[in-house]
Amino acid sequence: MKNSKNLYGVILAGGSGTRFWPLSRELTPKQLLKVFGAESLIWKTIKRLLPLVPQEQVYVISNDKLAEEIRTSLITEKEPFTKVGYLIEPEARNTAPAIGLAAVHLSSVDPDALMAVLPSDHLLGNPDEFLVVLKQAADLAAAGYLVTLGLKPITPETGFGYIKLGAELKDFSGAYPSYAVERFVEKPDRKTAEQYMKAGDYFWNSGMFVFKAATVLEEIERLMPDLYGQLAQFKELSLNEWKSEEAKSIFSGVEATSIDYGVMEKSNKVAVVPVKLDWVDVGSLTAIGDFLEKDTRGNAISGNVIDIDSENSIVFGENRLVAALGLKDMIVIDTHDATLVCPRERAQDVRKIVDVLKARKAEEYLVHRTMYRPWGSYTLLEKGPGFKIKIIEVKPGARLSMQMHHHRSEHWVVISGTARVTRDGEVFDVHINESTFIPASTMHRLENPGKIPLKVIEVQNGEYLEEDDITRTEDDYARS
């Protein structure tokens, strides 16, 4: 690759992953899930890029709230990514505006910037091959092409769009031949998909792109002039100002459009590198079945599950017991607070459940019971009128912010490790099997001074018990 210094990673991470509920939640979308191995999908996506792109040149684009969760997640992985940058979309408007925003920022930082645009929810089995492809795509992009990666179909998939190859671009030599695009086609029906597979010159539209920031902006200017005008206003704003009301107000007029529809399908600068990658798009819950090893009856089973006689089913549990008996082509997903049961063929409609939950404002199902924080995690065990019970885990050496709650008192029982408690200026240690009490309106801090994780049962009492009743005066993690 000729231009490695100018290559940047742009990770699209604004999706709320509603088709992955109940594993995903609004603030824990699928890119943050550790269902597919020990690390999250977004971590894997970035890790895959690092041999070609330094962390400092990787940007995650997402909304403000979610970006904070992603940051927390990435800095708390075993191999933490602390130098990744974050670009804030004022509102979710599909991929064209998000990519446009990233292009605006990158072209201001580096006029020759090349962007490798990657969804945050793909699994790849052969990362080395991916890097070979990416290098070739970058070379094409440097020559002014909008490059898309086309994946060789391995099943007649009806859930993806396809790309029909045009003439080979013979000027470019690389590991793979490159092609012009004859046309992009929408998600086909089963029969058409089977014909595409047989034909051999149709490839899955992977949603992975490489282009110069300047090139894509030129094409947006030509093909989506309204969006270009709106993006141009962001050039005047600092990255922090992208979170502002002004930015929101500009973005509220932006039309939600995919980069495929808005640019790729209409531009004459498009090239495709057709490749064969061991690739899974984590699009719906059936991806779990593609990922997990199957038993002799075709079931993908994980967690505390008893199965008798099921076939071709996905049964995914956590600690709670799930008993499956005689299921056929079913999906059962069990989490701490919600269970989903549906036939495999209805996996795409799971978002309809989330629509109902949103309409009901059933927020408990839009966030997870366990929330990860830079200092550790907390898990909601139970709530009822006037009380909440949590398990708080604090990593060795870590501490929560110095904080105060106006509307609740907190009772802490230490069940593992030693707690150092600051309460109204006084500092004392609470050992395993001991308890203490923080009255409302009292400044306090919880710290783990020890070498093993600290676990505390917290019982909150009060008339208002939401997370936003918190006033922080000091914080090791720069939260306000």
Phi, psi at 208, each rounded to 5°: -105, 130
Question: Counting contacts by CB under 8 A, is residue 143 touching a second copy?
Answer: no
Question: Counting contacts by CB under 8 A, is residue 371 touching a second copy?
Answer: no
Residue 80 vs 386, nearer CB to a second copy: 386
Question: Counting contacts by CB under 8 A, is residue 437 touching a second copy?
Answer: yes
In the three-class reduction of DSSP (H, G, I as helix; E, B as strand; rest coil), residue 47 is classed as: helix
Identify the helix (H) or strand (E) that includes residue 390: strand 387-394
Is residue 322 within 8 Å of residue 306, measured between CB atoms? yes
Identify the helix (H) or strand (E) that includes residue 100: helix 95-109
Question: Counting contacts by CB under 8 A, is residue 74 touching a second copy?
Answer: no
DSSP string, 345-372: GGGGGHHHHHHHHHHTT-GGGTS-SEEE
Question: Counting contacts by CB under 8 A, is residue 419 touching a second copy?
Answer: no
Is residue 138 within 8 Å of residue 1, measured between CB atoms? yes
* Total residues at interface with a second copy (CB under 8 A): 56
**CA distance linking residue 239 with residue 219, whole number of Å:** 23
Q: Which stretch binds a second copy (CB under 8 A): 154-162, 184-192, 395-403, 457-465?
A: 457-465
Is residue 139 within 8 Å of residue 3, measured between CB atoms? yes
Question: Counting contacts by CB under 8 A, is residue 330 touching a second copy?
Answer: yes
Q: Which stretch binds a second copy (CB under 8 A): 27-35, 61-69, 276-284, 330-338?
A: 330-338
**CA distance linking residue 249 with residue 198, whole number of Å:** 49
Least separation in angstroms between CB 156 and a second copy: 22
Residue 50 vs 465, nearer CB to a second copy: 465
**CA distance linking residue 165 with residue 178, whole number of Å:** 9
Q: Which stretch binds a second copy (CB under 8 A): 38-46, 83-91, 238-246, 381-389?
A: 381-389
Question: Counting contacts by CB under 8 A, is residue 356 touching a second copy?
Answer: yes
**CA distance linking residue 41 with residue 113, whole number of Å:** 25
Which of 228, 291, 387, 477 contacts a second copy by CB under 8 A? Answer: 387
Residues numbered 223-252 forming contacts with a second copy, rule: CB under 8 A: none
Least separation in angstroms between CB 371 and a second copy: 16
Q: What tokens appear for 125 in the block? A: 């089995």
Positions that interact with a second copy (CB under 8 A)? 21-22, 306, 308-309, 317, 320-328, 330, 332, 334, 337-343, 345-346, 349-350, 352-353, 356-357, 362, 365, 381-382, 384-387, 389, 391, 409, 411, 413, 415-416, 432-433, 435, 437, 457, 459, 461-462
